[in-house]
Amino acid sequence: MGDLILEEGETLRGCKLAYRTHGKLNAARDNAVLVTTWFSGTGKVMEDVYVGPGRALDPAKYFIVIVDQIGSGLSSSPHNTPGAQSMARFPRVRIGDDVQAQRRLLKDAFGITELALVFGGSMGGQQVYEWAVRYPDQVKRAAVVAATARNTFHDFMFTETLIEALTSDPHWNKGWYERGEDVRDGLNRMAGIFAVMGWSTEFYEKKRWQSLLGMSSERDFINGVMRAYFAPMDANNLLCMAWKWQRGDVSRHTAGDLAKALGRITARCCVMPISHDMFFPPRDCEAEQRLIPRSAFRVIEAVEGHMALNGFDPAYTAQVDKHLRELLDFPA
Amino acid sequence: MGDLILEEGETLRGCKLAYRTHGKLNAARDNAVLVTTWFSGTGKVMEDVYVGPGRALDPAKYFIVIVDQIGSGLSSSPHNTPGAQSMARFPRVRIGDDVQAQRRLLKDAFGITELALVFGGSMGGQQVYEWAVRYPDQVKRAAVVAATARNTFHDFMFTETLIEALTSDPHWNKGWYERGEDVRDGLNRMAGIFAVMGWSTEFYEKKRWQSLLGMSSERDFINGVMRAYFAPMDANNLLCMAWKWQRGDVSRHTAGDLAKALGRITARCCVMPISHDMFFPPRDCEAEQRLIPRSAFRVIEAVEGHMALNGFDPAYTAQVDKHLRELLDFPA
């Protein structure tokens, strides 16, 4: 999509956005749905877990565009950018940059200037909030799972522990490793921290790693799920996203006034925290929801905590679908 | 106290226990209270926060013995043990070893064979449970704040992240650093993880680091409280305690049957989780409390989460005192 001037000042040259679409844009161009992606995920998991015939996001009804966030590995990222902005030289990217890029993509590629819905979870939810605050006239509905509009300091510190897990690995070498897998100690440490914060105490107590994920033991789960999940990832990509995640904050547009920023939202919103989420707890999400004029607060019950987002449990996706339908069926 | 044969098989030679006492043992020897210590703490904090005139643990009524756990820095620990068991050569110690050593101390130094109360928090609580399960005829009352009798896998993984924070520091050098402060990067990382798990999201949201702790900013809090707290500590000592913490489990005495182990307790027990504790959540503590015959479940309300144990807030200590009085005033 050409150059993207970033909030931090640098220009991301020859910016590429990876996206996938489902369904067809209607003549009125009013059935477009944007789906965003989270930390460590790509559009693939969003497609698999949230989109399909008979689902709330049904390609028979909506034109669904899933866009990978910058740094996620498919869109422009440290590991796939050549030359002067490669690896450790990749510029700092903010949530707002993703939203700018997505907006340009939707307009240039499809002529879309209004979205029936923007939907995302976790860092994807940060992008949804940014959209709704910044372009209220272009977003008719917004739905967020397990995210906040302004990242909390607690969450900032959590992300900091993930960053330190990677950067403390000598093989990371300030971003100049030969191969991604060289940073395996750091990635393993990150997987360990995510094992603590990504699920919940109840998930382990109920042995959901067995009943839900089919692992034979806790150790089997740590190695076969948590470590295996992060092992193929690129450290610089993760660090790019982590830095962005830490600084997600819609009140940047209102000089730090969160109530004012969220008060700007005209979209109908559905705020869906996950009951057992350890870093985006329902309490934090509810405090924000109260500041959004036309919004509903719907807690998703899932002992999987934050990781429930991955849709392992049909009971989770059924809840999300129900709330999305409620939002979509109601005239915006 | 001479040699201590450890559960893992090795003998801790010339084992030393640090302890402090308050009050006087009465003629009937039935007013003795044992207070244990937690991870990263010494008897000093227990004395300052939980003992005093007019408090539930009043030296005018009770003979209070506060014993530092092995590895804590004052009792035998990697950093203060000379010769063949120094530093990285310090043997693996378990909760049961502490209890054995404490029992010997109480008998040999004071002729105490029955305790009116055993009280402790966090790892100190693990020791309380071990006492109550193993020596039911010697423990008339037991009170535990923010701890479980069998460590959960979630908590094991949390502790693992602390261990990895230290051992990933090249200056740790497999335990053979020159000076404790050389492991400052590892200690800082540990402080960062504790900043996430030790408090709660609400603690940060309410800016309790300011109103309660008098710090000027979140960064001031991280550096001036969290890092400053761990900076003077010895990495090998922390690792010794962390390994022990991970393996606290009273069901070792009943072939893994937790209900059977806790069913052995004859002491009146007061189980006091802290409402916002992220690694010993009330839910986990309540599941155990239900297995203890003569027990009460009392949740301590404190947005400080696990770190409330340090008694920053008079509202916290008032709750603990109230429940301890209820326990102590009732004939065992």
| CA atoms of A168 and B86, how far apart (whole Å) | 27
Share of chain B above pLDDT 70, in %: 100
Q: Does B291 touch chain A (CB under 8 A)?
A: no
| CA atoms of A100 and A81, how far apart (whole Å) | 19
Q: Does B160 touch chain A (CB under 8 A)?
A: yes
Which residue shows structure tokens 């006091």? B272
At B63, give phi and psi (nearest 5°): -95, 110
- Residue A212 distance to chain B (closest CA, Å): 17
CA distances from A103 to A20, A112, A118, A130, A282 (A): 15, 8, 12, 12, 29
Q: Does B279 touch chain A (CB under 8 A)?
A: yes
C-beta of residue A302 within 8 angstroms of C-beta of residue A313: yes
Is residue B332 very low, low, confident or very high in pLDDT (cuts 50, 70, 90)? Answer: confident
Predicted confidence at residue A329, as pLDDT, reads 94
Selecting from A152, A168, A222 the residue whose C-beta is nearest the C-beta of B201 gives A152
A277 annotated active-site? yes
CB–CB contact A205 B169 (8 Å): no
Which residue shows structure tokens 């000093």? B44
Predicted confidence at residue B331, as pLDDT, reads 82
| CA atoms of B55 and B320, how far apart (whole Å) | 10
Chain B 197-216, CB below 8 Å of chain A: which residues? 197, 199-205
The pLDDT tens digits of the residues spanning B54-67 come to: 999 999 999 999 99
Nearest CA in chain B to A169: B168
Q: Which residues of A touch B170 (CB under 8 A)?
A: 170
Is residue B72 very low, low, confident or very high in pLDDT (cuts 50, 70, 90)? Answer: very high
Q: Does A279 touch chain B (CB under 8 A)?
A: yes
CB–CB contact B199 A287 (8 Å): no
Strands (E), B36-85: 63-67
Q: Does B185 touch chain A (CB under 8 A)?
A: yes
Average confidence (pLDDT) over A79-108: 97
Please state, rounded to an integer, the average pLDDT across all residues of chain B: 97
| CA atoms of A31 and A65, how far apart (whole Å) | 11
Average confidence (pLDDT) over B165-175: 97
CB–CB contact B196 A152 (8 Å): no
Selecting from B153, B193, B200 the residue whose C-beta is nearest the C-beta of A204 gives B153
The pLDDT tens digits of the residues spanning A276-330 come to: 999 999 999 999 999 999 999 999 999 999 999 999 999 999 999 999 999 999 8
Nearest CA in chain A to B165: A165
CB–CB contact B201 A164 (8 Å): no
Is residue B215 very low, low, confident or very high in pLDDT (cuts 50, 70, 90)? Answer: very high
A306 annotated active-site? yes
- Residue B266 corresponds to which amino acid? T
A323 annotated active-site? no
Predicted confidence at residue B77, as pLDDT, reads 98
The pLDDT tens digits of the residues spanning B95-146 come to: 999 999 999 999 999 999 999 999 999 999 999 999 999 999 999 999 999 9
3-state secondary structure of A18: coil
Average confidence (pLDDT) over B196-200: 98
Q: For the whole model, what pTM was predicted?
A: 0.94
The pLDDT tens digits of the residues spanning A179-188 come to: 999 999 999 9
Q: Is the pLDDT of residue A51 over 90?
A: yes
The pLDDT tens digits of the residues spanning A247-286 come to: 999 999 999 999 999 999 999 999 999 999 999 999 999 9
Q: Does B169 touch chain A (CB under 8 A)?
A: yes
Q: Is the pLDDT of residue B291 over 90?
A: yes
The pLDDT tens digits of the residues spanning A166-224 come to: 999 999 999 999 999 999 999 999 999 999 999 999 999 999 999 999 999 999 999 99
3-state secondary structure of A184: helix
Beta bridge partners of A150: A249
Length of chain B: 332
- Rounded to the nearest 10 degrees, the angle between the axes of helix B153-167 and helix A153-167 is 60
Predicted confidence at residue A97, as pLDDT, reads 98
Q: Which of B68, B306, B321, B323 is catalytic?
A: B306
CB–CB contact A160 B192 (8 Å): yes
Please count the residue pairs, one from chain A and one from chain B, whose beta carbons lie less than 8 angstroms apart.
82
Residue of A150, A157, A209, A227 to mutate for B, most B C-beta atoms under 10 A: A157
